[in-house]
Amino acid sequence: DTAVSQTPKYLVTQMGNDKSIKCEQNLGHDTMYWYKQDSKKFLKIMFSYNNKELIINETVPNRFSPKSPDKAHLNLHINSLELGDSAVYFCASSLSQGTETGVYTGELFFGEGSRLTVL
Amino acid sequence: GEDVEQSLFLSVREGDSSVINCTYTDSSSTYLYWYKQEPGAGLQLLTYIFSNMDMKQDQRLTVLLNKKDKHLSLRIADTQTGDSAIYFCAESPAFYGNKLVFGAGTILRVKS
């Protein structure tokens, strides 16, 4: 029933490790995002995919690699984890344009977040 | 450039009105949004306003938009303890697809 689901919800790992966070949406949206929320709650976009194509790639280290196998999934793989990568990572999805039946608002639907702690 | 600023903290008594303010920079934003984040949860859309509107009312929520000053506010009437959360203002720069640019969030604490 969950609209945007991410796994895992919590991830504790050592510096230097590689980890992945998965995201799936069942809303029929064509655009998905990764946002990073730091310890001060500041929320910043990292990536956006539209129909499996990368459309937004903010200044993010190359250690972060998103992958979208289909438009309902967007995964985030992080290599060589660093202390500064500790944050809550939010997946989100949206439509990129209006539909015949609805008013387009550009609303993003967020997952519950994945809290990554790097020790 | 894109930048959204909000005051960081607001404390009110239960039953009072809360007003959270936000300034944004991108005048091309078609929509402006207010999202709510409860502890340990993701963000949920509270309300939005189309850029050609000055005001939008939705039950206890009133959004005011001053496009000239690029100022957005959210008023919550009869604030309840359940309204305690972080409130994020967001703009949607027109030339960046669906990218939303968020403010730092305003922590609303409601005292009973």
- Chain A residue numbers with beta carbons less than 8 Å from the beta carbon of B48 are 105-107
Chain A residue nearest residue B97, CA to CA: A96
Asked if the C-beta of B41 comes within 8 angstroms of chain A's C-beta atoms, the answer is: yes
Asked if the C-beta of B93 comes within 8 angstroms of chain A's C-beta atoms, the answer is: no
Average pLDDT on B81-106 reads 85
Q: Which of B37, B42, B88 sits opposite A111 (nearest CB)?
A: B42
Tell me how far apart the alpha carbons of residues A83 and A86 are, in angstroms, rounded to a whole number.
6
pLDDT for position A55: 84
Q: Are A34 and A75 in contact (CB under 8 A)?
A: no
- Chain A residue numbers with beta carbons less than 8 Å from the beta carbon of B107 are 41
Indicate whether B13 pLDDT > 90.
yes
Asked if the C-beta of B43 comes within 8 angstroms of chain A's C-beta atoms, the answer is: yes
pLDDT for position A1: 66
Confidence of residue B3 (pLDDT cuts 50, 70, 90): confident
Q: Give me the sign of the Cα torsion angle A113, A40, B1, B91.
A: positive
- Chain B residue numbers with beta carbons less than 8 Å from the beta carbon of A94 are 98
Indicate whether B34 pLDDT > 70.
yes
The mean of the pLDDT values for chain B is: 91
Percent of chain B, pLDDT > 90?
A: 71
pLDDT for position B24: 92
